[in-house]
Structure 1
Amino acid sequence: MVTRMTADSETERKVSFGFEDVTESEKVARVKGVFRSVASRYDLMNDLMSAGVHRLWKHDAMNQVNPQPGERHLDVAGGTGELARAFLTLADKAGKRRGLDSQATAIVCDINDAMLEAGKARPDNQKWEGRLDWVCADGQSLPYPNRSFDAVTVSFGIRNFADRVAGLREFRRVLKPGGRLAVLEFSHMTVPALQAAYDTYSFNVIPKLGSLVAGDEASYQYLVESIRKFPAQDEFRQEIEASGFSRVSVTNYSGGIAALHFGWAV
């Protein structure tokens, strides 16, 4: 992910932006531009690109998180808040089964104000008034004290971090002992022949779909490239473990098109 080059006796850190190498600050700025451009069509494009299957992946991921009444949830790079609303829904169901009335709360944290505005505009947020908050902040420098949350989730966002390891360490810092981390991300298929077919679809169809639906081919070209640059499942699992998480598991979805990495802060 990271290379280093020396210029004028100073070391400048370089990271990948799709198939380009850019400085960390440039990646942050360009990622903001990507998601500002696609914010209004983000949920629709996700449905079209995955034929709606991404919702099944997220549903299974939240079942593994197992939300409980009274818990605090932080959804980093949470965009339009889909996982946060799912967390609150499942926590309420668990409370009803257990006869508990303590209410869970959730925060959608995203570095991109346009994505947050798109999320806040959704009418299905009204039922969560007072329990769902929206914060514009960098996932690599979270504005919360140590041991603040019971669960942290990231859905299709960590590959856009300028330094994902810094983000993982922040997640570990803000989780309570026994807290859960769930990272759902596009990954690598487990059968090479299928990977080749998926790449053909990704590079030839998704950017054109982005142009047609969102009016932005370049942003979806970046998204496809960023998926290919993301580490394979086992390598990313090792990064999570090195960041202080225990019992890290990997669940592949749709043959590895996406993968859920799940770990515990113990």
Structure 2
Amino acid sequence: MTDTSANNANNTNGEDTTHFGYKQVAKEQKVNMVADVFHSVAAKYDVMNDVMSFGIHRLWKRYTVDCSGVRSGHKVLDLAGGTGDLTATFSRLVGDTGSVVLADINLSMLKVGRDKLRDMGRVKNIDYVQANAEALPFPDNHFDVITMAFGLRNVTEKENALASIFRVLKPGGRLLVLEFSKPVLPALSKIYDAYSFYVLPTMGQIVANDKESYQYLAESIRMHPDQDTLKGMFEDAGFEQCRYDNLTGGVVALHRGYKF
């Protein structure tokens, strides 16, 4: 394993602070605070994904793969790839002539993903890299496709991450970001708020013995840019033909952009 050592910047109270959920913290503290969350939840991460989404996260990820255009021979970066759900599918699609990098800033998550993929027999075309999305340790114009599922909202400086992704993406390549977003129906939004702030932390306590991490999850979703704001951030980073698809009424959105 390679060790090459995650909010909207407009919501900060100053240049040196950002938000961690609803709290204002120093920017240099946030990476470590997010790391502590994912160190805590790594062992139960897959179980909690199924429990808190009622298994629907699998459909969201399948749709992401379907929209990726990944094919044999491609080089794919699964950024903030965690326990490797997308990586497993991409490994099969790119075949022996392609390659997939599972990258995550959190070593505990990366180890869980590596062990799971090795247990599945996915070993030949996957590399594992601990990396910060804001400063990716890869050559320019290197990847055909980059995906980032449920990771961008944890990044301290999203603009830096999008710029770094743009740099390492090949001309003609595409970025797909799957992330919690803003429900488009008022009634759904009320139900979602009640679920997020009351049910989800309780599930976290029961299943993972960690209420605080899932309280942070709910808060971090609310602080993440909405669909149109994130689309604009893609465009500001240089991506073209940017669009998004609302999934499950906007609870989740899949953003896409291309580098030309």
Please say whether Structure 1 and Structure 2 have the same fold, judged by a TM-score greater than 0.5.
Answer: yes
Task: Tell me the amino acid that sits aligned with residue 156 of structure 1.
Answer: F
CA deviation vs aligned residue, 1:169-204 (integer Å, no higher than 9, x gap): 111000000011000000000112210111011100
Q: Which residue of 1 aligns with 2:157?
A: 163
Match of 1:105 among 89, 99, 109: 99
The residue number in structure 2 matching 1:97 is none
Q: Check if 1:204 corresponds to 2:207.
A: no
Tell me if the contact between 1:36 and 1:112 (Cα under 8 Å) persists in the aligned partners: yes
What is residue 66 of structure 1 aligned with on the other side? 69
Aligned length: 251
Work out whether 1:29 is the aligned partner of 2:29.
no
1:227 aligns with 2:221: yes
SS of residue in 1 equivalent to 2:136: coil
- Tell which deviates more after alignment, 118-127 or 253-262: 118-127
- Structure 2 distance, partners of 1:240, 1:147, is 17
Instruction: Give the TM-score, by structure 2 length.
Output: 0.93
Q: Name the counterpart of 1:176.
A: 170
Query: Are 1:44 and 2:38 counterparts?
Result: no
Q: Does 120-129 or 26-35 show the bigger shift? A: 120-129
Give the CA deviation at 1:123. Answer: 5.4
Structure number with greater CO (CA < 8 Å, separation at least 6) is: 2
Identify the match of residue 134 of structure 2 among 131, 140, 144: 140
Q: Distance in 2 between matches of 1:196 and 1:54?
A: 20
Q: For residues 48-96 of structure 1, what are the alpha-carbon distances to aligned partners after superposition, in whole Å with 9 as ceiling and x for unaligned?
A: 011000110100111100111111111111111111111122334xxxx
Change over 3 Å in CA distance of 1:127–1:197 after alignment to 2: same
Q: 1:18 to 1:177 in 2, by over 3 A?
A: same
Give per-residue Cα distances to partners, 1:111-140, cap 9 Å, x unaligned.
100001111111555532220111111111
The letter for the 2-side match of 1:16 is H
In structure 2, C-alpha distance between the alignment counterparts of 1:253 and 1:195, rounded to whole Å: 14
Q: Which runs of 5+ in 1 are unaligned?
A: 6-11, 93-101
SS at match of 2:121: helix
RMSD: 1.3
Structure 2: tracts of 5 or more residues without a match = 1-7
